[in-house]
Amino acid sequence: MGIVRRNSSFLLAIALILGVGASIFGGVVAVRVVAAEGSAPVTAATDPTANNMVSSYGLGSIPGATSGGAYEPLVITPTADTPAFITDRLAEQQGIVLLVYVEGASDDMEMLSYFNTVKEQYAADSTFMAFEAVAVTELGDTLGQLRVSDPPILAIIRGDGVVSELYTGWIGLKVMEQRVADAVRGL
């Protein structure tokens, strides 16, 4: 009993600290429970073609919140500045896979080889267009509508003009194949 009596003030301080900590923890939990009950439930997107939710890539989304926390989809709308080879494909409801790259840059050249491999597989289903960065003036206002400017750029545009996928950096063959396959299948 000598040890307990000698350390009684220390033990009392520990008990007080634990009691205050428990009451603070309980208060935080109560506030979080009340806040969670008042919030709307989070649900997944039900439209498989709608990729306009916030993601790590920001794919196909532009600022301008709409209902449900989604962003308005990025759409290529033919204008007087849009080149005919893009306008014609969209008028035919033909999908477009567009790559802008820098000639000589090793990663971009590797991406171009992947692009050509995927093109061999899906050329019957989509139009594939590759442009060297110095020739982007041929694209008219397309990059402006995509809101991108620095290559490498890979855009997968559905026949209705909605941008299915937009990458502004290097991607590998498997990702490119899968994204083009998904777009061809309408996903």
Buried-exposed string 28-42: b where 16+ CB fall within 10 A, e elsewhere: eeeeeeeeeeeeeee
Structure tokens at 156: 């997968």
114 is a domain residue: yes
Residue 86 and residue 127: Cα distance in Å, rounded? 9
Question: Do 67 and 24 lie in a common domain?
Answer: no
Question: Do 18 and 90 lie in a common domain?
Answer: no
55 is a domain residue: no
Question: Do 25 and 81 lie in a common domain?
Answer: no
The CATH number for 113's domain is 3.40.30.10
118 is a domain residue: yes
Mean pLDDT, residues 76-92: 91
Q: What is the pLDDT of residue 177?
A: 92
Q: Higher-confidence residue: 116 or 59?
A: 116
* Helices 173-185 and 106-122: angle between axes, nearest 10 degrees: 40
141 is a domain residue: yes
138 is a domain residue: yes
Question: Do 99 and 141 lie in a common domain?
Answer: yes
Dihedral, CA of residue 39, residue 45, residue 50 and residue 56, to nearest 10: 70
pLDDT at 40 over 60: no
Q: What is the pLDDT of residue 63?
A: 43
Mean pLDDT, residues 89-111: 91
Q: Give the structural domain span for 179.
A: 61-185
Residue 71 binned pLDDT confidence (cut-offs 50, 70, 90) = low
pLDDT at 143 over 60: yes
Question: Do 25 and 75 lie in a common domain?
Answer: no
Residue 161 and residue 163: Cα distance in Å, rounded? 6
Question: Do 80 and 156 lie in a common domain?
Answer: yes
131 is a domain residue: yes
Question: Do 97 and 180 lie in a common domain?
Answer: yes
pLDDT at 53 over 50: no
Count of structural domains, the chain: 2
Q: Higher-confidence residue: 53 or 140?
A: 140
Q: Nearest-CA neighbor of 95 among 161, 48, 51, 173?
A: 161
51 is a domain residue: no
pLDDT at 61 over 50: no
Is beta strand 126-132 parallel, antiparallel or unpaired with respect to 153-157? unpaired
Q: What are phi and psi of 103, to 5 degrees?
A: -60, 130
Question: Do 134 and 68 lie in a common domain?
Answer: yes
Question: Do 119 and 170 lie in a common domain?
Answer: yes
Question: Do 86 and 18 lie in a common domain?
Answer: no
> Mean pLDDT in the chain?
81
Q: What is the pLDDT of residue 48?
A: 44
Portion of the chain with pLDDT greater than 70, in percent: 81
Question: Do 80 and 20 lie in a common domain?
Answer: no
Question: Do 19 and 93 lie in a common domain?
Answer: no
pLDDT at 34 over 70: yes
